[in-house]
Amino acid sequence: MGAGAATAAIALPSYIIPYGEKKKNYDGKKLNIALCGLGNYAGALADGLETSQYCRLAGIATGHAEKAETWKKQYNIPEKNIYSYQNFDAIVNNKDIDLVYVVLPNAMHKEFVIRAAKAGKHVITEKPMATSVKDCESMIKACNDAGVQLAVGYRLHYEPYHLEIKRLGQEKIFGQVRFIEASLGYKTYDEAKALQGCDFNDQKEWRLNKKMAGGGPLMDLGIYCIQSCRYVLGEEPIAVQAQFSPVMSPKLFAQVEEAITWQLEFASGAVCNSASSYGYNIDRFFASADNGEFELSPGLSYGPFKGKTSKGDLSFPDINQQTTQLDEIGKLILAEKPLPRHITGEEGIKDIRIIEAIYKAAQTGTKITLA
């Protein structure tokens, strides 16, 4: 085992089980979760719930009757725990649902978080929390007023490689971090789709619809870059500059940006340079500190991650990120304990404030100061 791997092993969190060791059996009450929205990521969450110790898939809400029928059969979901978007509010009477996980297009997060809260259900919403700071504030207030907890699906907060880069940065293992490059992008769409008449209102293409998505790859992917810079430094940015990249597929990207770059400045003097794109592939995190460097590549996606430091390779087990996230949230809610602030709505709104500032900086060509 190299020096880097040895360093990594010391930082392994207690809930990350090393290879060859079994989880402690838990046979207590499970948190009953209803997934609201049955897109691709809901499938990953359902798989995660299959192996969760503290949570179980108990219900669904969808706008598609055929999806409801498929999921009902596949996951043995009782008819009484299946909702449409129209009758969703009836979930208030269902004692078999404890928490609603909102996995809908970004602009729908606010509505269904508030509806779930008013029904007395705890809520997890996917990233980004919402499409505006104002909406985030409304969501936080609704959950506080209802006495329920609100979490944001920050799965990487429980992922061992990311816990390690957070430790390396915040504990200044290599000294003060001076520069970070954190970028994530995928060549997602094909210009041929536009020539065939891409329907931005189609559910499969909602990320190209500004009203539904709130923005382009910055909203969808850039949030991972922002998050990593913030939790590695343990600081909030004080200023931002940004630039929209040239649009190579104007018919596809008529409403949202195709790619964007930005630079965050921090009080410590650190600078973070980032890019997010639907037009090219990139998946990388790199940090340079006074006495060394550390990086992940792939770095910000679903993994499997690979990393190294100036002292050697990082080596952690691959985990089911959804299972781990759900278990850590579930066991706290079951114990009636507050969720840590780093995954609550108070964290989610910070990202949206920064995203709004990045868009403003790109639109105006000026540096935006962050309060």
pLDDT one-digit tens code per residue, 207-244: 999 999 999 999 999 999 999 999 999 999 999 999 99
pLDDT at 10 > cutoff 90: no
The answer to whether 224 is a known catalytic residue is yes
Q: Which of 83, 161, 224, 359 is catalytic?
A: 224
Residue 213 CA to residue 171 CA, distance in Å, equals 36
The answer to whether 154 is a known catalytic residue is no
pLDDT tens profile 237-272: 999 999 999 999 998 999 999 999 999 999 999 999
pLDDT tens profile 332-342: 999 999 999 99
Residue 311 — φ and ψ, nearest 5°?
A: -105, -5
pLDDT tens profile 50-108: 999 999 999 999 999 999 999 999 999 999 999 999 999 999 999 999 999 999 999 99
Q: Check residue 371 and give its pLDDT.
A: 76
Contact 140, 246 (CB under 8 A): no
CA dihedral 82, 87, 93, 96 (to 10 degrees): 20
Q: Please report, rounded to a whole number, the percentage of residues in the chain having pLDDT higher than 90.
A: 87
Q: Which of 30, 121, 127, 331 is catalytic?
A: 127
Q: Check residue 3 and give its pLDDT.
A: 32
Q: Which two tokens stand for residue 161?
A: 């490689």
Q: Please report, rounded to a whole number, the percentage of residues in the chain having pLDDT higher than 70.
A: 90
Residue 238 CA to residue 213 CA, distance in Å, equals 26
SS3 240: strand
Structural domains in the chain?
13-155 (3.40.50.720), 160-317+341-369 (3.30.360.10)
Give start and end residues of each alpha helix (H) in the chain.
Answer: 3-10, 40-50, 65-75, 109-118, 133-146, 160-170, 191-195, 210-213, 217, 223-233, 321-334, 345-364
Q: Which of the four pLDDT bands, split at 50, 70 and 90, describes residue 16?
A: very low
Residue 329 — φ and ψ, nearest 5°?
A: -75, -45
